[in-house]
Amino acid sequence: MTRIDDTFARLKAEGKKAFVAYVMAGDPDYETSLQIVKALPEAGVDIIELGMPFTDPMADGETIQLAGQRALEGGQTLDKTLQIARELRKDDDKTPIVMMGYYNPIWSRGVDTFLAQAKEAGIDGLIIVDLPPEEDDELCIPAQKAGLNFIRLATPTTDDKRLPKVLQNTSGFVYYVSITGITGAAEAQAADVGPEVARIKAQTDLPVIVGFGIKTPEAAQAIAGVADGCVVGSAIVAQIAAGKTVAEIAAFVAGLAAGAHRA
């Protein structure tokens, strides 16, 4: 059982849906980013997705691309991203942290070295968007052996023939991408998402969390209502880009979390 498994078990017992928040590590700078991450659990975040800045973020829209650029320009590194997790763990041993990003920085570090460091830092899971199931031996299988969940993305174009392959080594939860395209590009619609979530849940016992295109508490409530929870990323990152204070960002996140928890 990982912290992710424990969190979903607790939420199920409480009759609540999960709220997952994404932030880019090191955006707008290391210290501010650390303070934002530390504020997320108190704002109602059940799982933290910590973005790993990368020079070629092909699945991300402009908002998160720019966040990654700000972080890299500010000197953010993989080591500093792991350090953010370590700092959170000094005060919080319950909130799961999922590192989200691309394979290149992990491959450059060396898979075994990275996994050992991630586990030591208190990381609970990985979402690596550019590693398909055909490459499971690269990272997915080693990660699960190291005690980390490997969370896979399913999309509107993942048909019934492809879905079992996507699900076969997934653990923690399934991340359903509600729209085709890049992050932050359009608004998710519960009427479209609901049947797709049901289709996925017919083939797995894992929770299904929906992300992409959720920007308001009302949208969080609607999407969480047809899934096991929702993820908000670009809308939070946009608040950071606008120069809002940590307190203002936490208040914005609290509104989104309350929406998801009302579902």
pLDDT tens across 34-81, in order?
A: 999 999 999 999 999 999 999 888 778 889 999 999 999 999 999 999
CB-based burial label for 75 (10 Å; 0-12, 13-18, 19+): exposed
3-state secondary structure of 128: strand
User: Burial, 58: exposed, middle or buried (Cβ in 10 Å; 0-12, 13-18, 19+)?
Assistant: exposed
**Distance, CA of 188 to CA of 97 (rounded, Å):** 24
Burial label, 59 (beta-carbon count in 10 A; 0-12, 13-18, 19+)? middle
- Say if CB 126 and CB 151 are below 8 A apart: yes
The pLDDT assigned to 187 comes to: 73
Report the pLDDT value the prediction gives residue 58, as an integer from 0 to 100: 78
Q: Which of 253, 254, 198, 202 is nearest to 227 (CA)?
A: 198
pLDDT of residue 181: 59
Which of 140, 132, 88 shows the shortest CA–CA distance to 111? Answer: 140
Active site residues: 49, 60
- Say which residue the tokens 């609901």 belong to: 194
Look up residue 126 and give its DSSP letter: E
Number of Cβ within 10 Å of residue 79's Cβ equals 10
CA dihedral 211, 213, 216, 221 (to 10 degrees): -50
Cα 173 to Cα 155, 167, 253: the distances in Å are: 14, 10, 21
| pLDDT value at residue 48 | 98
Q: Fold for domain 3-262? A: TIM Barrel (3.20.20)
Residue numbers of the chain with a pLDDT score lower than 70: 180-186
Beta strand spans in 68-199 (E): 97-101, 125-128, 149-150, 153-154, 174-177
Q: How far is residue 127's CA from residue 136's CA, in Å, rounded to a whole number?
A: 12
Q: List the structure tokens of 251.
A: 């208040």
**Under DSSP, is residue 177 helix (H, G, I), strand (E, B) or coil?**
strand
Distance between CA atoms of residues 10 and 16, nearest Å: 9
